[in-house]
Amino acid sequence: MIVCLCHRVSDRDIVRAVASGVCCFEVLQDDTRVASSCGCCHDCAREVFDEAMAGAPCACAAQPARAGQHAAQHAALATAA
C-alpha cells in the first residue's frame, strides 16, 4: 500500500527502513521523505512506523555509525517522554 503519494513511499518501504536500522521517525523522513511535503500521510506513516518498531528493537546499538547519527534524537525523545 502506498502511504505517501507525494513521495511514493509504501508501507513496505517503511518496514524495510526499520528493518535496516531506522529507529526514529525523523530519520525515516530524512531517508524516504515520507510526510515531508503536504503532510496528509503523517498519521498513517507514523502508525506504520510504530507498528514496525514494535516488532523490531532499536538497532542503533548494533550499528555504531547510526548510534552517533541518532544520539541527539534519542536524547530528545527521552526528554519528551
Residues that bind ligand FES (CB under 6 A): 4-6, 35-41
Distance CA(77)–CA(39), nearest Å, equals 21
Minimum gap (Å) between residue 70 Cβ and ligand FES: 22
DSSP labels for 2-13? Answer: EEETTTTEEHHH
Minimum gap (Å) between residue 6 Cβ and ligand FES: 3
Q: Please identify, using beta-carbon distances, which residue of 4 and 28 lies nearer to ligand FES.
A: 4
Minimum gap (Å) between residue 18 Cβ and ligand FES: 18
